[in-house]
Structure 1
């Protein structure tokens, strides 16, 4: 019997909150970070369009097990809508499909905002990663097909007009998972009767990570000048956030050293005391020192592990 292959790279684990530059794809950014860190595994928590900049949380190693909890976090974007033209991609990259000489008054824009606040129905852009009959919508759109994408419910917590100019307007939106800002620009342009597309987009928050955590890509690349490999990797590791910080929305259980060993072996542990959480389908357990041990369920007075760390 052949021996299992040893994973390439080092078992580094943590979150890097990358400030993704403009005109750089999310997959390309993950590959670059994985290469810089010499990591065994890497993934991101939510695609950011190549023409968008800002927050792209990247998980390395065991932190990839916590990606779903960051994917579900609220997000904040700052964006600019250019009026007078709708494009097939709903941003600067595409070809014009409809034009108008009309320009909206500031009061008309403000009057429209409540329509786009709360739970709304939204049709994703033709050029999106949505799967239709097993194919990506953008692949079908690039082949000239008209893609019928069903509307879906998304939640807009807040939509604010920051500045209105003659040919464009600047906004900030706080929204939930699955929201397409390009669709917001397209739909507002249609409602205002002037058409519109995204002319600038930046993501400033992906909960639970704030803007103060952002690390510019050029700052990481600059560390390549450090010739000593161990010193260079240590400098890179200093930017990493422990995986446990991705789970702050879940109930927390602190366990003893004996219970750590049981959980890591895949066994449940009994929870005692008045601080034990109520039954819940998801919670996370840490050691006394704060190290993440497992994600699991609290049922019948036990913590039952589903994903184990370390």
Structure 2
């Protein structure tokens, strides 16, 4: 994967180790990029590891695009035991039988496609303006509402009772801890997630990510064309200086000689140094600016 020398606007693939929060994983990025304007496109629980897409500077406005992408995980479920948090950090709250491998393989088919999933009580979903995990820690019985998610792939790669390793491909908003809970309930037992490794976000892979302590701004900031070639539905427009100036100042592109370079939908305008200049939406009604970085 190609990279560019860093300014304060960048996207970085980070390989978060287990045992730290996603917020703490950003510290090295903030220090070495020289900016406090740093965010990630989708958190990982502290026990989990794997891919985080980090956005800095003005590129933090791209986070929503990354968050909407599908995810892939490798997860280890432990059947026959559960915890209040549905992960290894919580307190043991129940036990049950350990299912046979055949039973598990028969039931997981009912958890693919669009399903209704209730987030865990210990989660970051908002309930009446407050995080669900705060209610749980206070001992208040508040149950998050179920919502639709899509499980596009669910494969049990190995089973060494009571532990099963699953590869899960899923949509934004899916909780793997809830998936473990619900599969176990369908089998008449309980389970929790022992290990969780996020391996992909859209076309971005953890194999291309860097550990927080190894991050080097000169080596690990993704080139703009790499970013947008990996996000479906975005057209790249390589712009000359004149078009860049039009975009920076928010001028009407439709009256320029460059309109034909744009397609219906979202267009990423890149300058000759391969930096993002603007995101421009083209519709039948004309052009609108969704983001201008001012880097021309």
Q: Any gaps of 5 or more consecutive residues in structure 2?
A: 1-5
Q: Distance in 2 between matches of 1:285 and 1:274?
A: 12
Q: Given that residues 111 and 151 in structure 2 are in contact (C-alpha distance below 8 angstroms), is that contact kept between their aligned partners in structure 1?
A: yes
Q: Given that residues 268 and 305 in structure 1 are in contact (C-alpha distance below 8 angstroms), is that contact kept between their aligned partners in structure 2?
A: no
Q: TM-score, normalised by structure 1?
A: 0.85
Matches within 5 A, 1:113-192: 113-192=108-187
RCO (CA 8 Å, sep 6+): is it higher in 1 or 2?
Answer: 2
Match of 2:37 in 1: 41
Q: Of 234, 249, 268, which residue of structure 2 is paired with 1:284? A: 268
1:285 Cα deviation after fit: 1.9
Q: Aligned residue pairs: how many? A: 285
- Deviations 1:125-171 (CA, angstroms, capped at 9, x unpaired): 10000010011000110001111211000111101101011211011
Match of 1:268 in 2: 252
- Give the direction of change, closer, same or farther, for the CA distance of 1:40–1:28 in structure 2 (3 Å limit): closer
Q: Of 190, 195, 201, which residue of structure 1 is paired with 2:190? A: 195
Q: Of 216, 219, 223, which residue of structure 2 is paired with 1:242? A: 223
Q: What SS does the aligned partner of 2:245 have?
A: helix
Q: Distance in 2 between matches of 1:11 and 1:273?
A: 28
Q: Any gaps of 5 or more consecutive residues in structure 1?
A: 1-9, 221-234
Q: Of 11, 14, 38, which residue of structure 2 is paired with 1:15? A: 11
Does 208-217 or 187-196 show the bigger shift?
A: 208-217
Q: Distance in 2 between matches of 1:40 and 1:110?
A: 47
Q: Distance in 2 between matches of 1:40 and 1:94?
A: 32
Q: Given that residues 243 and 258 in structure 2 are in contact (C-alpha distance below 8 angstroms), is that contact kept between their aligned partners in structure 1?
A: no
Q: Distance in 2 between matches of 1:283 and 1:86?
A: 47
1:200 Cα deviation after fit: 0.6
- Give the direction of change, closer, same or farther, for the CA distance of 1:218–1:279 in structure 2 (3 Å limit): closer
Q: Does 1:253 align with 2:237?
A: yes
Q: Distance in 2 between matches of 1:246 and 1:73?
A: 13
1:213 Cα deviation after fit: 1.3
Match of 1:83 in 2: 79
CA RMSD in angstroms comes to 2.1
Q: Of 283, 287, 304, which residue of structure 1 is paired with 2:288? A: 304
Q: Given that residues 69 and 247 in structure 1 are in contact (C-alpha distance below 8 angstroms), is that contact kept between their aligned partners in structure 2?
A: no
Does 125-134 or 258-267 show the bigger shift?
A: 258-267
Q: Given that residues 235 and 263 in structure 2 are in contact (C-alpha distance below 8 angstroms), is that contact kept between their aligned partners in structure 1?
A: no
Match of 1:231 in 2: none
Q: Given that residues 80 and 95 in structure 2 are in contact (C-alpha distance below 8 angstroms), is that contact kept between their aligned partners in structure 1?
A: yes
Q: What SS does the aligned partner of 2:217 have?
A: helix
1:305 Cα deviation after fit: 1.5
Match of 2:277 in 1: 293
1:94 Cα deviation after fit: 1.3
Q: TM-score, normalised by structure 2?
A: 0.89
1:304 Cα deviation after fit: 2.5
